[in-house]
Amino acid sequence: MPGRESRANVAAMSASSDSARRRATLAGFGAIALWASLASLTAFTGTIPPFQLNAMTFFAGALAGAAGWILRPQAARAVIQPWRVWLVGLGGLFGYHALYFAALRLAPPAEAGLVNYLWPLLIVLGSALLPGERLRAVHVVGAVSGFAGVAVLAFGKSGGLAFDPAHLAGYLCAFAAAFVWAAYSLLSRRMGEVPTDAVTGFCLATAALSLVCHLAFESTVMPRTSVEWIAVVALGLGPVGAAFYLWDVGVKKGDIRMLGFASYATPVLSTLLLILFGFAEATPVLLVSCALIVGGALLATLAPKARRTAQAGR
């Protein structure tokens, strides 16, 4: 029965595609989990200036990516990309971090961090511009709920935020950083044919540009203890290394809206780790923040499925 075989083949291909999409989404979740360790590991690095730390960790991240080329020498060719691809890659990795560091210098960290965390919302909203993606009102509500959770956490940690107009330049840098990271993620989705090995080149170039900024604006402070050295290496292999490779896989082949929702879990997980390592104290606000973030993600994820199930039952 040719017709039956054809339908079976289509179903098998669809199941395989769904499985690949789930694996890619899980890779993106891995990046989010690694980014949650960023604050804790950075706290263990001591007083290393931001651009110096960026140069050291991105260089370690590039070495980690290049290590895979030993078994796959042909993968090194992935760094040979058109200038547009390099513009997106460097704009995302170096541009985001440069703007974020500037925001932290020009505005209080709590306020700058909250403004910067608009990027998951921008990813969810921007997904409407991607081929094959459809944005529903429930997605917007879920993303806004997630941002509200981050806002509650920020207000709770600082004892009340104060957006002083004197720090406007810092807030603008933080918003620009959020926009740059969202744009990098969305444009990476549109450049799905670019292999993830190209990220190694972006990391190496980001390390070089960060070194230039360090030499121009900072004084060198080398790690003083073995703990600080271990933290630097861990940053380079984890949240500033493997995380970017995993994120590239996730945004290119996974559910990019779901990754946007899940990204709001990063500051909560980060706070939990800071509490675990003794850098912060637990507060009831953390529970409220978790409820808003998890609730928003569940709303945006389960509501469309419930609608499809109801329609299928008619």
Q: What pLDDT score was predicted for residue 301?
A: 66
Extract the residue ranges of the chain whose pLDDT is less than 50: 8-13, 306-314
Q: What are the structure tokens assigned to 303, written together? A: 């509501």
> Rounded to an integer, what distance in angstroms lies between the CA atom of residue 63 and that of residue 98?
21
Say if residues 31 and 246 touch (Cβ distance below 8 Å).
yes
Give one DSSP letter per residue of 281-306, joined into a string. Answer: ---THHHHHHHHHHHHHHHHHHHHHH
Q: What are the structure tokens assigned to 4, written together? A: 């039956």
Domain boundaries, the chain: 83-312
Q: What pLDDT score was predicted for residue 135?
A: 74
> Rounded to an integer, what distance in angstroms lies between the CA atom of residue 57 and that of residue 214?
13
Q: What is the pLDDT of residues 259-292, one digit of tens each?
A: 988 888 888 888 788 778 777 677 777 777 777 7
Side chain identity at 46, as an amino acid letter? G
Number of other CB atoms surrounding residue 313 within 10 Å: 6
Nearest to 143 by CA among 303, 34, 20, 276: 303
Q: What are the structure tokens assigned to 181, written together? A: 């990271």
- Alpha-helical regions (H) of the chain: 2-35, 38-43, 50-67, 83-90, 96-106, 109-116, 119-126, 137-158, 168-190, 198-217, 226-237, 243-253, 256-263, 265-276, 285-312
Is residue 192 exposed (0-12), middle (13-18) or buried (19+ Cβ within 10 Å)?
A: exposed
> Rounded to an integer, what distance in angstroms lies between the CA atom of residue 170 and that of residue 235?
25
Output the CA–CA distances (angstroms, integers) from residue 25 to 43, 137, 166, 256, 277, in the order listed: 29, 22, 41, 8, 29
Q: What pLDDT score was predicted for residue 306?
A: 44
The DSSP call for residue 160 is S
Query: Hey, is 74 helix, strand or coil?
Result: helix
> Rounded to an integer, what distance in angstroms lies between the CA atom of residue 40 and that of residue 314?
51
> Rounded to an integer, what distance in angstroms lies between the CA atom of residue 8 and that of residue 207?
49
Output the CA–CA distances (angstroms, integers) from residue 233 to 45, 60, 204, in the order listed: 10, 7, 15
The DSSP call for residue 238 is I
Q: What pLDDT score was predicted for residue 312?
A: 46
Nearest to 251 by CA among 263, 235, 240, 268: 263
Global confidence as pTM: 0.84
Q: What pLDDT score was predicted for residue 82?
A: 95
> Token match 């460097």: residue?
90
Side chain identity at 122, as an amino acid letter? L
Query: Hey, is 75 helix, strand or coil?
Result: helix
